[in-house]
Amino acid sequence: MGKLYDAKVKLEQVIREKKLDEAEVKGSLSLKSGVLLALVRPDTPDDPAKLEKLRAAARQVLHAEI
């Protein structure tokens, strides 16, 4: 439990570090991965498939590994 949420936190960190538009980037990540980040909470059950899709979207949008 929490890996998806951890990924979301890491993404938010990268966005802040890169000083990007959070809403826009999170929207792109959500649309590309199919994971609605707004609904990812600490207790969101882990889903390896969703996590992998989110990582792929992060590579594509942020050029970052999470």
Q: Does 26 bind other proteins (CB under 8 A)?
A: yes
Nearer to other proteins, 34 or 52 (CB): 34
Q: Does 56 bind other proteins (CB under 8 A)?
A: no
Q: Does 22 bind other proteins (CB under 8 A)?
A: yes
Q: Does 49 bind other proteins (CB under 8 A)?
A: no
**What CA–CA distance (Å, rounded) separates 13 from 49?**
22
String of DSSP letters for 8-48: HHHHHHHHHHTT--HHHHHHHHHHHHS--GGG--TTPPP-H
One of 27, 53, 64, 66 touching other proteins (CB under 8 A): 27
> Closest Cα to residue 34, out of 57, 9, 14?
57
Contact residues for other proteins (CB under 8 A)?
A: 22-31, 36-39, 41-44
